[in-house]
Structure 1
Amino acid sequence: MKWLAAALTVALILLQYRVWFSADGVREVERLQRAVATQRADNEQLAERNRQLAAEVRDLKTGMDALEERARSDLGMIARNETFYQVVPARAADSSHPPTRTAAAR
């Protein structure tokens, strides 16, 4: 009976060692759980992006407003009977050229 108890104790110690300290033990399980949590967060972000893209595709297929907005912003298109005005910002004073004389300076 003592031999059986000793054998079972040794087996228990070996199994516990394997659970806590081997490559497939508790540390690996914790690492995999962290990896799964990270992947779930990434998947949720990608799913949200997919929902937004699907909504945009639906808008482009059914609504003319989204299509017109995309044509105006991406392609620079204007509608019929519209006048396009482009505002050009004034250039900064260039120091390489001397200022010209104006009527006020005379």
Structure 2
Amino acid sequence: MVARIVTLVLLGLLALIHNQLWLGEGSVARAQALQSQIQAQQVINAGLQQEVDRLHSEVQDLKEGSEMIEEQARGELGMVKPGEIYVQITQ
């Protein structure tokens, strides 16, 4: 009789543990969902890191030389040197 009660109690505890494992807040499905979110965020972070590196390189070029400043002025502002003629071709 006591052995049956102990067995039933242990089976009940086992059922509770399995319920938590498969359906609870820390379940296997939740862990897999979080893992996929982590992977997606890592992809986003890698893209953003490339942009940060590019901007850092651009800032370094601006600090070190005037070629980058001249290129920016010509491309974005349409500036020309004395004696040059500005020609714009539209399609």
Pairwise same-fold verdict (TM > 0.5): yes
State the shift of 1:53 in Å.
0.4
Q: Runs of 4+ in structure 1 displaced over 4 angstroms? A: none
5+ residue gaps, structure 2: none
RMSD: 1.7
Count how many residue pairs are aligned between Structure 1 and Structure 2. Answer: 88
Higher relative contact order (CA 8 A, sep 6+): 2
| Unaligned stretches of 5+ residues in structure 1 | 90-106
- Corresponding letter in the other structure for 1:86: V
Structure 2 length as normaliser, TM-score?
0.84
TM-score (norm 1): 0.73
> Which string of whole-angstrom CA distances, capped at 9 and with x for unpartnered residues, describes residues 32-86 of structure 1?
1100110111011101100000000110111111111001111111123x22142
Larger C-alpha radius of gyration, 1 or 2? 1
Trace 1:4-43 onto structure 2 (pairs within 5 A): 4-43=6-45
1:2 and 1:88 map into 2 onto residues whose CA distance is 92
